[in-house]
Amino acid sequence: MLEVTSINCGIVIDHINCGNGQKIFEKLNLGNVDFPVVLLMNVPSKKLGKKDIIKIENKIDLNLDMLGLIDSDITINIIENGNISKKMNVDIPKKVSGLFKCENPRCISNSDIYATPTFTLVNKNKNKIKYQCNYCDDFTYFNQR
């Protein structure tokens, strides 16, 4: 069985639903860093059956809105001196700005570079998360599973 030993100082993103690990890995741009990182996919989990895990042997800034948007089931562990110094959960963000585009091709936010696409959460069902655009009122959808 594939396991990774604990890290000394850094971040562990745990309980990632299978398939979302690679998305988070890419969004955090971990393919272009020079410190040790590990992406584990489809490893056994008591809670989820199978899960993905990301281990980062460094402190980096995390955009919790972005993480909550991709997978709100994740647990973030901050590791210091080999121990968990902080445990965090994330939520599907109620307000989102600049993280995704409006699905309405005629929305002003898709053509005006000064109009940062901004949305308000309408429905937080993880299979069909629904955001309303603050500019055109159209809906944009996400699926976390």
Residues binding a second copy (CB under 8 A): 1-5, 7-8, 18, 22, 30-31, 33-44, 50, 55, 57
Q: With respect to a second copy, which residue has the nearer C-beta, 42 or 89?
A: 42
Find the shortest distance in angstroms from Cβ 145 to a second copy: 15
Cβ proximity to a second copy: between 34 and 61 the closer is 34
d(CA 15, CA 55): 12
Calculate the CA dihedral of residues 43, 25, 81, 83 and round it to 10 degrees: -40
Give the shortest CB-109-to-a second copy separation in angstroms.
Answer: 30
How far apart, in whole angstroms, are the C-alpha atoms of residue 10 and residue 110? 37
In 3-state terms, what secondary structure has residue 30? Answer: helix
42 or 83: CB nearest a second copy: 42
